[in-house]
Amino acid sequence: MDEAQCEYFRKKLDSMREDLLSEADRTISEMTDHSSQYPDPTDRASAESDRNFELRIRDRERKLLAKIEQAIERIENESYGVCEECGDDIAIPRMEARPVTTLCIECKTKQEQAEKAQAG
């Protein structure tokens, strides 16, 4: 991956990160609103389950955010776009579709097959 490509992905990752963070902020302020908004216990229960849903979403966001930050780190230490498993360059279209990926398509496929085999 050359310098221009690194720069491109760095910007892409930065904006993904910004989006996630602003989304998380919004979720938190909505959650804060909920607690005072429903004096009726039934409504409160549904607000609770909404909140569980939001927390699950946030858990997913948090994991993605960690991946984005790791990807930015890899750009900084120049290992971005290199497969963790086999050390080959990951194809640019794959990076484009999934900028946080650490595996080339071959290794990813192998990993998925292994996971499927494990799951039975």
Residues in contact with Zn ion by CB under 5 A are 83, 85-86, 104, 107
Contact 50, 44 (CB under 8 A): no
Rounded least distance, CB 84 to Zn ion, Å: 7
Cα 21-79-57 angle, rounded to 5 deg: 25
Nearer to Zn ion, 40 or 115 (CB): 115
Query: Which residues make Cβ contacts (< 8 Å) with residue 104, sequence separation at least 6?
Result: 83, 85, 86, 88, 89, 90, 91, 94
| Closer CB to Zn ion, 15 or 111, in the complex | 111
Q: For the CB of residue 79, give the shortest distance to Zn ion in the complex, in Å.
A: 13
- Closer of 72 and 107 to Zn ion (Cβ): 107
The minimum distance between CB 72 and Zn ion, in angstroms, equals 21
Closest approach of Zn ion to the CB of residue 103, in Å: 6
Identity of the residue, 65 or 83, whose beta carbon is nearer to Zn ion in the bound complex: 83
The tokens of 38 are what?
A: 């429903």
Determine the Cα–Cα distance for residues 55 and 18; give it in Å rounded to an integer.
Answer: 19
